[in-house]
Amino acid sequence: MSRKTVRKGALSGWSLYLAPTVILLLIPIFSYLNQHGPGSLLISVLMALMFCTLAIIWSVSIAYRILSATIRHCLEAVGVLVTVMISVRIIKYEFIDPTAAGIDRLLWYSYYVFMLGIPLCGLRAALHVSGKDGRKGKYLRTFGLVAGVTILLIGLIMTNDLHQLAFRFKDTPINNNNYSHGGVYFLAVVMIGGCNVAAVLLMLHSMKNQIHRWQQHLPMLPLIGLLVYSLLYLTLGWAFSKYFYLTDAYGTFTILFWESCIRVGLVRTNTEYEAVFSHSSVPAVITDGDGSVVYESAVRIPLTQDMMENRGPVQRVDENVTLCRRKVKGGRVLWIEDRSRISRLKDLLEEQKERLKEEQELLQEEIRTREELAQIRAQNTIYDNTIRRVTPQIMQIRNLLSEENDEETFLKNLSWACALNTYVKRRVNLGLLSMQEKTMSLEQLALAMNESRRYLELCGITTSYFLPAEESIDSKTMMALLDALELVLEKGYPSLDSLLLSMERKDEAVFIRIMAEDADGDDLRVGSQFAARYEDIRDIDAVLKDVGGRISGHAEDDIIYLTIMIPVFSEKERQSD
């Protein structure tokens, strides 16, 4: 398709805008003939038919051109209302006897059905063009209120003979020529003007955001024409309107305004497909029934004779290129589907997929290595802390077993070394267990106390304890508690006679009460060596400080009273949190 053909198709649409302009230029001639020439009725009817024909052609073109159903229906309604309004005008003034007051008055009232309906339909179309009708229904609710008021005003005007709120007649029986305006009439005028102004403002605002500056003047021309007509009508009155009737002017300028909005592209249409097709980047052609190319896109297709003679829906040109055909009215459309780029992208995607798979495997292996390394470091930390914690006890065991004493002392030292060894063993076991479990049952502490008690009895130390085995505490807290109890035993040895231990849970803390009794039975208030060993409990307090605990104590008679407080949560409470 050549550029000349495209221009011709685009220009043909302007006839719908130029036609009313030509009619406006013919109005003075027709008006003069209507007033002074012979056959004024014929001239008046021809003028009405001219305007009605314009409105009908425009309405039909709207049905074919406008894409949006809402705008299409509203503008079709505008065209129909303009047509009927002009028809009512010519019937009223040319075919109805003025003495038939009832029919004449009914036609007069019906003017306001059209005068109110046209701006209402225009307002609804303007709301859709501007996009205001999609904002949570706010503008649609306002439009519904306006429509309701408009319908009420139409009803009041059409039933004016019952109440005379729009037109007040001074004669009885009613004389159509002797009346004054009532409140409903002024409300109708305000409604007509308000809807028109609102619609124009909405369109001008949309035009500002969507249309080039050099095109914005076109919709302004009908508005200027309507404004000039209104000023002349208000100034000259009937002397002017008999040459260009108000209904004809209102309908013509309304059509011109909306056609201007369509021409500049503010209202979307589905015309000028030829220009769209010729500028398309899709390689395609449209042929007639004989196979001759009628339209061709911007990207040419190298058609061969074989391609033109083939009638199949799909013809493979090569591995990636396919020629497709479809029947259309009057011919066929042919287009090329080139999958070469898709194939390249597919190959690239597969390559990237394999690459990502390898990177994912490397990443997973790196994560696994890091996890193992972190676990080893954590184990080494626990091992180091455990060894550092039990080193003093190991040194004591070595010293006790290396001393040369008599048999009784050696047996006592051996028993104490076994008790220390029990602590070392249990402490190491708890350290290993803490790497797997975050909490431990107090049964672990009870087992340690139970095993140590046999060796402590050989050292002459009687032990007794009460531990709620169902209670669970943090692994770290469990090890700190075992370290604290070991320090209590070491401070009392060798003069320690008995050790009583009990535990009590209160709210979110565990209280461990310890009673240590001196074997010599000395009065601790006079400052025995046994009591002196428990005066400094900072080492025990340092062990408990890591888990938020503390120790306090006092001496009474030959008994040392110690209280350990450790904040703790049970496993059940942790799960509920």
Q: Identify whether the C-beta of residue 10 lies closer than 8 Å to the C-beta of residue 272.
A: yes
Inform me whether the pLDDT recorded for 147 exceeds 80.
yes
Supply the DSSP symbol for 469: T
Best mean pLDDT range from 29-38, 94-103, 188-197, 422-431: 188-197
- Region 355-370: mean pLDDT is 85
Contacts of 553 by beta carbon, 8 Å cutoff, 6+ apart: 534, 537, 560, 561, 562, 563
Q: How far does CA 291 lie from the centroid of its chain? A: 51
Q: Yes or no: say if 563 and 552 are a contact pair by the CB < 8 Å rule.
A: yes
Instruction: Provide the strand spans (E) within 439-573.
Output: 439-441, 462-466, 472-474, 496-506, 509-518, 550-556, 559-567
Is the whole-model pTM more than 0.75?
no
| 49, pLDDT greater than 90 | no
φ and ψ at residue 454, rounded to 5 degrees: -60, -45
Tell me the three-class secondary structure of 160-228, residue by residue.
HHHHCCCEEECCCCCCCCCEEECHHHHHHHHHHHHHHHHHHHHHHHHHHHHCCHHHCCCCHHHHHHHHH
Compute the average pLDDT of residues 429-444: 79
CA distances from 485 to 395, 544, 563 (A): 19, 11, 11
Beta-strand relationship, 559-567 and 439-441? unpaired
Q: Which residues of 393-411 are buried (b: 16+ CB within 10 A; e: fewer)?
A: beebbeebeeeeeeeeeee
- Confirm if 513 and 502 have CB atoms less than 8 A apart: yes
Pairing of strands 550-556, 472-474: unpaired
- 494 closest CA partner among 464, 453, 468, 529: 529
Checking if the pLDDT of 577 tops 80, the result is: no
Report the 10 Å Cβ neighbour count for 381.
Answer: 11
Flag whether pLDDT at 528 surpasses 60: no
**Cα(206)–Cα(266) distance, rounded to whole angstroms?**
8
> What is the C-alpha separation between 8 and 553, in angstroms, rounded?
109
pLDDT at 575: 46
Residue pLDDT, tens place only, 73-116? 999 999 899 988 888 888 877 777 666 667 878 888 888 899 89
pLDDT per residue as tens digits for the range 4-33: 333 333 334 455 556 566 665 555 555 555
Closest CA to 503 of 566, 417, 437, 552: 566
CA distances in angstroms from 502 to 84, 430, 439, 487, listed in the order given: 105, 21, 20, 17
Band of residue 480 on the pLDDT scale cut at 50, 70, 90: confident
* pLDDT at position 40: 60
Q: For residue range 363-418, what is the model confidence (pLDDT) as tens digits?
A: 888 888 888 787 777 767 766 777 777 787 778 788 877 777 777 778 878 888 88
* Range with lowest mean pLDDT among 42-46, 545-549, 567-571: 567-571
Query: Mean pLDDT over residues 450-478, rounded?
Result: 80
Report the amino acid identity of residue 389.
R
The pLDDT, as a whole number, for residue 150 is 92
pLDDT at 569 over 60: no
> 51-57 — which CB contacts under 8 Å span 24+ positions?
51/23, 51/82, 51/86, 51/248, 51/251, 51/252, 52/83, 52/86, 52/87, 54/19, 54/20, 54/23, 54/252, 54/255, 55/79, 55/80, 55/82, 55/83, 55/86, 55/251, 55/255, 56/83, 57/16, 57/19
Tell me the average pLDDT of the chain: 77
- Give the residue-averaged pLDDT of 143-156: 91
Helix (H, G, I), strand (E, B) or coil at 467: coil
User: pLDDT band at residue 471, thresholds of 50, 70 and 90?
Assistant: confident
Model pLDDT, residue 17: 56
- Give the N- to C-terminal CA distance of the chain in Å, as an integer: 76
131 pLDDT band, cuts 50/70/90, is: confident
Q: What is the mean pLDDT of residues 116-144?
A: 82
Q: Is the pLDDT of residue 254 over 50?
A: yes
* CB-CB contact of 448 with 482 (8 Å): yes
The residue with greater pLDDT, 356 or 300, is 356
Q: Exposed/middle/buried for 491, CB within 10 Å: 0-12, 13-18, 19+?
A: buried
Q: What percent of the chain has pLDDT over 90?
A: 6
User: Using CB atoms within 10 A of its CB, is residue 360 exposed (0-12), middle (13-18) or buried (19+)?
Assistant: exposed
